[in-house]
Amino acid sequence: MKKLKLIIVLFISIGFVQCNILKLEKSPPFKVQGGVYNYWVGGQPGVSGINVNINYLANDTVIFENMYFQRKTTKIETRTVAGKTHIIGHFNTSTREDILIIEGQNKTTKQEIKKDKFPFNLNENEAVISYKEGVKTKYVKVEKLKKTKRNFYQ
């Protein structure tokens, strides 16, 4: 009887874990042609970030939402330059921390909140982009992003 209870608890636990995993699409309505990322440093101490630029082709309009990269999340910007369409993510990595006062809690940084809720396990050169298909949000992983030269701004 104990073994049966243990097996039932195990199956229920596996079911809950699988519900929390976001499914990655194998064939999105667009084709990723490649991408790059680079670190940048601003003109003031502690100001820095990462830019991720992904080229894609699509026959129809795609509504992009968020990009997930190196345990950070940002809204996606789309841009067409010289006939090529790009998905762009600007990630803030500044060492200046924004402090939030959350009701009933001590001071918390925005980065601490995001680290707890990051939904993907990615390598350094991988990103996930979310997009809308109808009313449903879907996710696709972009692998093998190439690291380019660091930019220094004054």
pLDDT of residue 128: 96
Which DSSP helix (H) or strand (E) runs through 17?
helix 2-20
Pick from 130, 146, 38, 137: nearest CA to 87: 130
C-alpha–C-alpha distance, residues 117 and 110, integer Å: 11
Instruction: List 67's β-bridge partners, or say none.
Output: 74, 129
pLDDT at 117: 73
Secondary structure (3-state) at 91: strand
**pTM beyond cutoff 0.75:** no
Residue whose entry in the numeric block shows the structure tokens 């992904």: 54
pLDDT at 19 (0 to 100): 42
CA distances from 111 to 29, 102, 117, 127 (A): 32, 14, 10, 18
What is d(CA 128, CA 1) in angstroms, rounded to the nearest whole number?
44
Residues of the chain with pLDDT under 70: 1-21, 96-116
Q: What is the pLDDT of residues 16-57, one digit of tens each?
A: 444 445 789 888 999 999 999 999 998 788 889 999 999 999
Q: Domain segments of the chain: what residues?
A: 2-152
